[in-house]
Structure 1
């Protein structure tokens, strides 16, 4: 469920935009390859492709796909484009593939990959990736794409993470613990700032960003069987502790009350540009936004660090991203889908869009990922946690969003809000 931002583009992306007339011939709005090719595959994509609204990305993908068709002659790829309502699009696609009406190959959000695996609509891709390539994936990625039977059911090609951004002229030292963040946020108010900003509105970003605090304590949302256990046993106390942490930030004034209504990462770099905040919890892609939004002398004041934890050594961060999966049963189509994931997206696509790779080796292969900033992001991914690959997760997320609104607004105590969330989730689980 990750947002794509044109502002995150760096100058090196220009290397991908040199097109020949032949590339234009091979890549049309709804087709890749010759129109009269004997074999056809249907590919459904997000904006990460030739139809991207970002001109540099669109041009870059045209070249990548034109080169791809030259390496795989005889194929025509019919393109389908998803709308920006990713949740709705993914739900619709799942129903289509279950009824045999879906695309042959498609982008599947890591957020809902478990639903597709559970529905048994994805084809195994083991034959197209070596054991070494799979082993090189970050652990949370490898776990996410692997089924219970040990087979590889998608290729997760890009990822992201959440970090703490700060204006180092106002907050000189990176806060390492929750207490240190609270103190830094309160101190920043003396410089006219409004404290630390984070997502607290009714959307997935609120759940995902907050969960890092629960995970940092070792909390588990579900057990090995996929049953919700976040409100029982040791998990309950860890969950409540993480909720109280956010509540205390608001109650103390370290975070403004308006965080309960924030449901868009854009508000953070906008506040940084307006000079109203010195601290915010955001995504790694926002570094590029800050670079392109702020004047150079202002951007130089900003840096980032890992999210603070309950202690300096207990850290976690939420990680998302996109996968490519094959739905077609035709072995040739499955092979071509795997080739698209491997030759267009994993590596070239990462470099084109400046999206963090999921394979450690790619950070050394491409110059753009050798920068100190991207090396720091890669290091932080070692503490990455993906959302659990179980069908009940969307309802868990929904109830956490409701709970967070009730707690931050003072409508319910953390205990009462957690009990209500658990009751709703358990009812949905048993249904």
Structure 2
């Protein structure tokens, strides 16, 4: 249970938001003598309680400046749990009628939350000319029946990371570009006592995100134009079976250890740090954490897309977090938008993005010093400048699909089921839920 404590004796109506840790739980509250008090739900990563000091300081500074600019708005925030547990908390709160005024929401939750009828459209407050500064995919992904329901504030690329120094030791000046080159790279890595790669393969959304980039690159589609799942039909089935087969081949050929079947992205990073794997699948959002963990990675870290058979190119995915507003009272809704609008200003959002190492979703932020002068960030920008970025389908069945995909992976890697059986199992799980949702 989250506990709160009000802070008194400050100069002015309300000043700095302060953290209170009580009985193992965390909440941050500011008080205001008069005006509007807002409740924000957010994962700790997007608050002054973030684990990385640079990120925590950036949010603390942001909240200080917002409070100075809007002294009649009190911002009280409470910490959301990680993962899909947070989505379930929001859905339960929607049913119970105790949602916050606004929240930080994973992009793929928006479709489910729109279904509740509680998430408020932003169009009247967020004019089209302001939205035009954002990547179009980031706006389209949260638009339903012509209305925009959330504001995206960063993106994360997922692919393979490597040390150029290690590549050089293995005889490479650049990473492999296709599957045949990747298999040959795997043999060289094995000869040097390393795994070629480690990808997360536990039964979570993170596993599915890496799979999805490959699946799209191989020509697959998750759903049709009506939102009905089609990943198990025709060319889509062939693409998904091939993704499972590639994972299995990496294990079978000794390019990747079977142990990844129980690991997420954070669990496999230490193997990259120690040099036990020559490359590792990660999110660009982990770069700042990686530099904090191993400072000498800075200047010796590169990224490349998953090598695929037949010259196919993996698709970068629009993955990130958004701000959504649940308050329907006009005054509270306007106050909530005042905060979101403050966050979205390029001069403010750019500082948050840079502190966390997030990829900008506002195009002008790429021109700010941190992004313009960092070779790795410029590498990420080149990937997105290809125009191939795709957003996860904004359909309510999406979380069920990726959950079903990921849950099959451990059995595929162990050789207990074939890729075809994995697709069938995922289909059965998804269509049971799809039929249930369609009958409501």
**Residue 156 in structure 1 maps to residue 158 in structure 2:** no
Q: TM-score, normalised by structure 2?
A: 0.85
In the TM superposition, what whole-angstrom CA distance separates every residue of 1:377-418 from its partner, at most 9, and x where no partner exists? 123234333322222122212221222122111111111221
How far apart in 2 are the matches of 1:231 and 1:173? 36
1:231 paired residue number: 232
TM superposition score normalised by structure 1: 0.87
- 1:68 maps to which residue? 66
Rounded Cα–Cα distance in structure 2 between residues aligned with 1:245 and 1:71: 53
Distance (whole Å) between structure 2 residues aligned to residue 67 and residue 362 of structure 1: 20
Counterpart in the other structure of 1:379:
382
Q: Measure the CA separation in 1 of the matches of 2:28 and 2:240.
A: 48
Structure 2 CA distance for partners of 1:37 and 1:307, relative to 1, 3 Å? farther
User: Could you say what secondary structure the match of 1:239 adopts?
Assistant: helix
Of 95, 105, 109, the match for 1:108:
105
> Using the alignment, how far apart are the partners of 1:199 and 1:375 within structure 2?
25
2:282 alignment partner in structure 1: 282
The alpha-carbon deviation at position 23 of structure 1 amounts to 11
SS at match of 2:235: helix
In structure 2, which of residues 400, 403, 406 is the aligned counterpart of residue 401 of structure 1?
406
Please say if residues 301 and 376 of structure 2, whose CA atoms lie closer than 8 Å, have aligned partners that are also in contact: no
- Structure 2 CA distance, aligned partners of 1:392 and 1:273? 37
1:165 is the counterpart of 2:167: no
Q: For the structure 1 residues 338 and 369, does the alpha-carbon distance in structure 2 shift closer, same or farther, using more than 3 Å as the test?
A: farther
Aligned to 1:369: 371
Tell me the residue number matched to 1:8: none
Give the 3-state SS of the residue equivalent to 1:52 in structure 2: coil
In structure 1, what is the Cα distance between the partners aligned to 2:309 and 2:133?
30
Deviation at 1:125, TM superposition (A): 1.0
CA shift for structure 1 position 97? 2.5
Residues 194, 275 of structure 2: 8 Å contact kept: yes
State the partner residue of 1:424: 429
Aligned to 1:222: 223
Confirm or deny that 1:141 pairs with 2:138. yes
- C-alpha change, 1:304 and 1:327, in structure 2 (3 Å) is same
Deviation at 1:241, TM superposition (A): 1.9
Distance 1:118 1:279 in 2: 40
Q: Hey, what does 1:123 align to over in structure 2?
A: 120
Question: Once the 2 structures are TM-superposed, how far is the Cα of residue 31 of structure 1 from its aligned partner?
Answer: 5.8
- Tell me how far 1:301 sits from its aligned partner: 4.4
Q: Secondary structure at the match of 2:154?
A: strand
Per-residue deviation, residues 344-366 of structure 1 (Å, max 9, x unmatched): 253342233332221212111x2
Give the number of aligned pairs: 407
CA distance in 2, matches of 1:155, 1:429: 27
Equivalences for residues 268-417 of structure 1 within 5 A:
268-294=268-294, 296=296, 300-312=299-311, 314-344=313-343, 346-364=349-367, 366-370=368-372, 371-381=374-384, 382-417=387-422
Work out the CA distance in 2 between the residues paired with 1:56 and 1:139: 29
Residues 369 and 127 of structure 1: is their aligned pair in 2 closer, same or farther, counting only changes over 3 Å?
farther
Matches within 5 A, 1:22-37: 25-29=15-19, 34-37=31-34
CA contact (8 A) 1:176 1:311 kept: no
The whole-number CA distance in structure 2 between the counterparts of 1:414 and 1:380 is 29
Q: Deviations over 1:217-239 (max 9, x none)?
A: 22111111111100012211122
**CA 27–376 in structure 1, closer or farther in 2 if over 3 Å, else same:** same
Displacement of 1:300 after TM fit? Answer: 4.7
Contact persistence 1:165–1:303 (CA under 8 A): yes
Partners of 2:104 and 2:301 in 1: CA distance: 34
Q: Is the 8 A contact 2:284 2:357 kept in 1?
A: no
1:251-281 deviations in Å (ceiling 9; x for gaps): 222222222222x222333112212111122
> What is the root-mean-square deviation of aligned Cα atoms in Å?
2.4
Give me the whole-angstrom Cα distance separating, in 2, the residues matched to 1:25 and 1:73.
Answer: 8
Question: Which residue of 2 is the match for residue 200 of structure 1?
Answer: 201
Please list the CA deviations of residues 133-182 of structure 1 after superposition, one character each: whole Å capped at 9, or x if unmatched: 323322431221211x2111110101101121123222432222223222
CA contact (8 A) 2:14 2:30 kept: no
